[in-house]
Amino acid sequence: MVRFVTPLALAALSATAFAAQKCSTSSQCTDETYPCCSQYGECGTGAYCLGGCDPLSSYSLDSCAPMPVCEEKTYTWENLDNAVSQDKYLGNASKADWTYSGKPKTEDGNLIMTMPKNSVGTLFANNHYIWYGKISGKIKSSRGKGVVTAFILLSDVKDEIDYEWVGADLTNVQTNYYWQGVLDWHNSGNISVDGGDTFNDWHTYEIDWTPEKVDWIVDGSVQRTLKKADTYNETSKQYQFPQTPSRLQMSLWPAGQASNAQGTIDWAGGAIDWNSEDIQSKGYDYATVGEVSVKCYDAPSDVKKTGDKSYLYTNSAAMESDVAITGNDTVLGSLGATGLDMDLGANTSSTSATTSAANSIPTTNGGSGGMSNSNSSSSADSSSSTGTTTSSGSESTTSSGFSQGTDVTKDNGAASQTEHVLRGSLFAVLVAIVGLVTL
């Protein structure tokens, strides 16, 4: 049943500063006026309710807008006509395939994800969700200590399958997966890239994701396989396997930034050099993306289907069986609208989609990779899986360090999401950022 919010939600479109409520799976948004928990862990409206909106941390499951279904397509980069900045996107994936933040550019038919000095880099997120399928990207990673490139699938409930390149190690690519943000120290694994240099040489990276398994494929060769059958947890009686609709996200971000937690900096190979060779010669660190393709697989045979337009969570367990395919619209009427009232502000001139507001377009201070923090602390072994830098010990996260925004420990005794991010990836949680923010 759709609930309607008060017109006070239109205040989301003002430029007035808004002290956003923090949110997590253990502390959901409590104000029906600002019901959507963004992947930053803050409550709001508009863009907070679109890609990355966590239904488990929001006011209710239907606070987030429905997710656009998978679209099979190959992307090239003659220009950025198929991409819009986050402040201009209201959920119409048929008009914009990608949402971005930062200062991306195209050059010689490729996408250049840039990270100028003292910035938080670039994020490119596909607006069509994938519920099993195959993604492929022709990529040259960034380089340098503290600089990280990512190519991942991430769901709104934090199921994740990823590739990440640490710029201090140009011979390997890191792979990982997560289920609902739960950390398992054994999930990560490195793939050695033939020919070495991931910065100067093109390589094709693929994720082949089915209900039964995940394959990580580099240059046409399967390098790692995860079987769903091997993820069963006897304590929770669940398969802790990525299984919910996910967005393809590509990013370049400063994991080695001084304001980040020391464990994150160590994982990234050390402190970032803001006077690197590339910043001096080009004005920015960068990663290069060539052709990207998405192939959609069939949804599970027992899925509840009432349409073909959008995915929707039907239960807070957020497992595969708790996702339906519906005919529900995915487009918000304004930046003041939410899943509770999709049309709010649609016919009001003051609700321009280009109007920026603190509680309608998620932002970051640049130090947290896009995530807010909730004054939590954790103790974790921060050993780098790249072998470039290793350290261990206790760390206390602050508002300038990484935090998932949902400090939850699952029944399997796994470490909290805050601890997980200190190790490196729950990636993009990492970098759903709006614009470049100078430190």
Task: Assess whether 164 carries a catalytic annotation.
Answer: yes
Bridge partners, residue 107, by sequence: 110
Catalytic residue among 42, 164, 206, 419: 164
Question: Across the strands, what pairs with 233?
Answer: 238
**Residue 308 has which token pair?**
């073909």
Residue in 364, 356, 360, 379 with CA at minimum distance from that of residue 430: 364
DSSP string, 242-295: --S-EEEEEEEE-TT-TTS-HHHHHHTTSS--TT-HHHHHHSEEEEEEEEEEEE
Catalytic residue among 32, 107, 160, 206: 160
Cα 275 to Cα 42: distance, rounded to the nearest angstrom:
33
DSSP track, 145-203 = TT-EEEEEEEETT--EEEEEEETT-SSEEEEEEEBTTB--TTS-EEEEPTTS-TTTS-E
Q: Quick check: is 212 catalytic?
A: no
CA angle 118, 119, 124 (to 5 degrees): 160
The H or E element containing residue 400 is none
Please report, for the chain, how many H helices and E strands are present, in that order.
3, 26
**H or E, element range at 11:** none
Residues linked to residue 308 through DSSP beta bridges, in sequence order: none
Number of residues that make up the chain: 439
Those residues with Cβ within 8 angstroms of residue 108's Cβ, 6 or more apart along the chain or in another chain? none
Q: How many CA atoms, within 13 angstroms, populate the side-chain half-sphere of residue 273?
A: 13
State the CB neighbour count (10 A cutoff) for residue 258. Answer: 13
User: Tokens 């935090």, residue?
Assistant: 403
How far apart CA 203 and CA 195 sit, in angstroms, is 10
Residues 138 and 167: their CA atoms lie apart, in Å, by 17
CA angle 248, 254, 257 (to 5 degrees): 150
For residue 87, with 0-12 CB atoms within 10 Å meaning exposed, 13-18 middle and 19 or more buried, which class applies?
A: buried
Is-contact 215 208, C-beta < 8 A? yes
Q: Which residues are catalytic?
A: 160, 164
